[in-house]
Amino acid sequence: MSDGTPADLFFDAAINLLRRVREEEAEPIRAAGTLLADTVAAGGRLFAFGAGHSSLAAQDVVYRAGGLALMNLLAVPGVVGVDVTPATLGSALERVDGLASAVLDTSPVRAGDALVIISLSGRNALPVEMALNARALGVKVIGVTSVAYAAETTSRHVSGTFLKDHCDLVLDSKIAVGDAELTLDTIPAPFAPASTVVTTALMQAVMATAAATLAERGIEPPLLRSGNVDGGHEWNGRVMREYGDRIFYRH
């Protein structure tokens, strides 16, 4: 590790990744935002899914101030962050064949909707099958993943494929295999993961693009306001009444 405090070096690494994503993924981000805007304009619903820590970026765009009210979390019990004990159970569930099919069959997802699937490695059965099955239903799929994993690791899905192979659009987070940005002679393993920072920023960039695209078409984007500012609750109540048939997190 070069000169600088570990904190400085982590910030530098994260900033450099964000710059790469900004420059190299500009067109996929625009396309993804446009796809979401198209879905909203056509009366479709929006969903986001992620397993383990990838779920954090999915949750970050659901029911939040400044966000699209129509973004719903497609939750799979046991894999939403580290909400189970032991936490390793969540990792094991990501590798279970058939789980994605059961989830989609019992979810409100339908043809004409859009689903963002976030998986850093994109190699486990759950995100791969989620993309495969969603597209078979007529759902548009946006994958957010590190494409490097497909070149440097093997798939854990029976097809031998990765998430990126089953998406209408792919956003590459540029995260290196292993998700650790720093090394130190006195520490035997690399450390300081940046995937959550980068993936969350990617998601918010797509949401911003979708909102602006709707506005350019003369459609007021269904945005939520903070409940901690005057008038926020009233604003959100109006949005939820207007789009209640496409919002599932309040039921």
Q: Is the pLDDT of residue 80 over 90?
A: no
What's the pLDDT band for 83 if we cut at 50, 70, 90?
confident
Which residues partner with 32 through β-bridges?
A: none
* Domain-located, residue 119: yes
* Domain-located, residue 244: no
* Domain-located, residue 232: no
Give the position of tokens 């069959």: 105
- Predicted confidence (pLDDT) per residue in 125-145, tens digit: 999 999 999 999 999 999 999
What's the pLDDT band for 169 if we cut at 50, 70, 90?
very high
What's the average model confidence in pLDDT over 4-11? 95
- Average pLDDT over the chain reads 93
Q: How many domains does the chain have?
A: 1
Compute CA 200 distance to the chain's CA centroid, rounded to the nearest angstrom: 7
Between 80 and 134, whose confidence is greater?
A: 134
- Predicted confidence (pLDDT) per residue in 41-61, tens digit: 999 999 999 998 999 999 999
Residue 94, pLDDT score: 77
Give the position of tokens 């920023």: 201
Residue 2, pLDDT score: 59
- The beta strand positions in the chain, using DSSP E, are 46-50, 71-73, 114-118, 140-145, 169-172, 182-184, 187-191
Compute the distance between CA of residue 183 and CA of residue 192 in angstroms, rounded to an integer. 9
Residue 251, pLDDT score: 61
* Domain-located, residue 53: yes
pTM: 0.94
CATH number of the domain enclosing 185? 3.40.50.10490
238: tokens are 């109006």
* Domain-located, residue 230: no
* Domain-located, residue 229: no
For 31, the domain range is 6-221
Residue 216, pLDDT score: 98
